Structure 1
């Protein structure tokens, strides 16, 4: 299960809406081994495409060096789909290289990208390991402190 703070959830959705009609992408880093997505890093979609996303290789290298220096890892890797459901494409599955990460997809199709849109947003999370996709529950909390003490 992905547990994510409301502020981070809202920021991912806002990024997806802002970059529409192109796919948005980014990473949410967290302390190694914590499974807590705490530091949002919106990235530039180097492909600048409505059907494909690609991290800029230089930006990605800098991010990984920064995470390493801060003892962080990519907890969430997210991107948006602008015209289809929030489900990993074959390309998304082939590019998934972080077996410990939650792969989040947000769909901005059918008007969900508009500022005036007040309907539910399709926000889904997956584990992708060795080409196998497994959807997982998403739990949005006000803060991680709310979940302390739960097992």
Structure 2
């Protein structure tokens, strides 16, 4: 289960909406071994793509160096999908290299950067196996904002 505070949840959603239609990406880091997402770091999608995200290698190196100095690790690795559901793509699964991290996906496909709900879902991805997990926001169960119902 992913436990995340309301401010961090809101910041991730706001980042996804602001960057739409380009995929937003970033991390929430915390003390090593704590599983506590404490410090959000918005990253720039170096690919600038609506269908793929890529961290700038220099920024990523600096972030990992900073985490090492502060005894932190990635707790949440997030990105958005602007045209598809909040479920890991084959590329997302193949790039998942942090077995201890929660992989959060936010889909902005229904409302884009306009007001309205998003799909906010979290997964564990270990050795190519994807397992969805419950999300608790600020102490309340919230399998996130429920995925929007499809209109017929």
- Other-structure match for 2:143: none
Deviations, residues 50-80 of structure 1 (Å, cap 9, x unaligned)? 0000011110000000000000000000000
Q: Do the aligned residues in 1 keep the contact of 2:82 with 2:112 (CA within 8 Å)? A: no
- Residue 131 (structure 1) aligned with residue 144 (structure 2): no
Partner Cα distance (2:76, 2:113) in 1? 21
Q: Do the aligned residues in 1 keep the contact of 2:26 with 2:41 (CA within 8 Å)? A: yes
Which secondary structure does the structure 2 equivalent of 1:109 belong to? coil
Which structure 2 residues correspond to residues 58-137 of structure 1 after superposition, within 5 A? 58-114=58-114, 117-118=115-116, 120-137=117-134
Root-mean-square deviation (CA, aligned residues, Å) is 1.2
Deviations, residues 87-131 of structure 1 (Å, cap 9, x unaligned)? 0000000000000000000000011421xx23x320000000000
Deviations, residues 20-55 of structure 1 (Å, cap 9, x unaligned)? 010000000000011000000000000000000001
| Structure 1: gaps of 5 or more residues | 143-151
- Other-structure match for 2:2: 2
- Other-structure match for 2:19: 19
Which secondary structure does the structure 1 equivalent of 2:10 belong to? helix
TM-score normalised by the chain length of structure 1: 0.90
TM-score normalised by the chain length of structure 2: 0.90
Deviation at 1:13, TM superposition (A): 0.2
Flag as ranges the 4+ runs of structure 1 deviating above 3 A.
none
Which secondary structure does the structure 1 equivalent of 2:58 belong to? helix
